[in-house]
Structure formats: C-alpha cells, structure tokens
Amino acid sequence: MDRDRAERQLALIAEVLAATRGPGPALWLRGGWAMDFFLGEVTRDHGDVDWFAWARDAAALTRTLTRLGHRPVPGPPPGLQLDFTGDGLDSSFTLLDKDAEGRIVVAGGPWAGTPWPEGLLADEPGRIGKSTAPIVAPRVQIEIKRMMPVWDPSRPRRAKDATDIARLEAALRDRA
C-alpha cells in the first residue's frame, strides 16, 4: 500500500471538510474511502477521493475547491458530477438532488431523477484515527457496489468491489 498517498488523501479529505464546515456545502464520502472510514482503517490504495454533494451547492463547492488550489477537470456532465485535481490527487463529487417525493435522486446526466437507494446518507460519521467524515451508509455502499454493473453495464464489477463488499458485510455482522 502507498502509505504516503493514503496520508495525502486523508489530508485532502480533512482539508475539504474543514473548508466546507458550517454553512458550506454538505459532503459525504462514498466509495472506498467511505468504506475505510466506516471500518476505521485504511484497507487499500485509493485512486481518488469520491464524494456526494447536493447539486444546489455545486457553484459554492467549485469556488471553495478552486480557492484551495484544486482545478476543475472536464469529463462527466456537470449536472451529474464535478471532478477536480490538486497536488496530484483527484476528487470526484457526484451530485444529488431530491424529487417531488423527497427521495434522493441522481441530479443530472442520463440518469437524472433516478432514485438512489433509500438511506443513502449515513446518520453517523465514519472515523479513521482522530479524523471523522460523513459517509454513505455501509448497507447502501454494498448495494451500490453490487448493482452498478446492472444499472450501468459499461461499468463491470471490479475485484476490489467484491473485496469491499465482503469487508463491509463482515463488519456489519460483527456490529450486529
């Protein structure tokens, strides 16, 4: 495992959360870092830091990250996701919205309006050492990792997804 990269990513997570604390955009870790914060340790290398954010906060989030020295990276539809890079580290912010029934949905792009699984955002933050971060609910993280290849056949399940699912399921069993 690249411990230096993991430490730099943990510092990035702390920096972004500190910059958005208070009236700033609400954020939740998703993907591998959400899993690690739930498990309480860094379990593997991470290519980037994945987040969820509200679409209504996209402009404020962009201003905040730009102020911190991160540069926007073109790619996905801007209503769906915002990508940034800074100091050789990448961050991806998938945007959320709510539908008329109050369900959390995909904010933009080809799946706009599609509901995310119920209970997406965890009630309790995750923790690694002294660092805490809002996270995606572990049960929903499992569902997302299981269903992604069904929802989007262009994104096949990766070996790390199967390992992540097994780790999360074991931790949930241990906590039951």
83 touches 76 (CB < 8 A): yes
The percentage of the chain sitting over the pLDDT mark of 90, rounded to a whole number, equals 82
The model's pTM is 0.93
Scanning the chain, the segments in alpha helix (DSSP H) are 3-20, 31-39, 58-67, 138-151, 159-175
| In-domain check, residue 171 | no
Q: What is the CATH number of the domain that holds 19?
A: 3.30.460.40
pLDDT given for residue 61 in this prediction? 96
In angstroms, how far is CA 100 from the centroid of its own chain? 24
Q: What is the per-residue pLDDT across 128-157, written as a single tens digit (0 to 9) for each?
A: 999 999 999 999 999 998 887 767 777 777
Rounded mean pLDDT, 81-96: 96
Between residues 152 and 49, the one the model is more confident about = 49
**Mean per-residue pLDDT, 59-74:** 96
Residue 91 lies in a domain: yes
Which residue has 């050789």 as its token pair?
88
| Token code pair at residue 64 | 């905040």
| pLDDT > 80? residue 164 | yes
- DSSP helix/strand/coil, 82: strand
Domain that holds residue 11: 3-137
- What is the pLDDT averaged over residues 105-129? 94
Kindly give the interhelix angle for 3-20 and 58-67, rounded to the nearest 10 degrees.
120
Q: What is the DSSP letter of 135?
A: B
70 belongs to a structural domain: yes
Residue 160 domain-assigned?
A: no
Tell me how far CA of residue 19 lies from CA of 23, 53, 64, 71, 76, in angstroms.
10, 14, 7, 16, 24
In the chain, the number of structural domains is 1
Give domain status of residue 65, yes or no: yes
The model's pLDDT over 6-48, given as tens digits with 9 standing for 90+, comes to 999 999 999 999 999 988 899 999 999 999 999 999 999 999 9
Tokens standing for residue 76: 């996905």
Q: pLDDT tier at 76 (50, 70, 90 boundaries)?
A: confident
By C-alpha distance, which of 72, 76, 108, 77 is closest to 90? Answer: 72
- Domain contains 89: yes
Instruction: Give the Cα separation of 139 and 119 in Å (integer).
Output: 9
Residue pair 115/104 in contact by the 8 Å Cβ criterion: yes
Report CA 144 to chain centroid distance, whole Å: 12
Structural domain includes residue 12: yes
119 belongs to a structural domain: yes
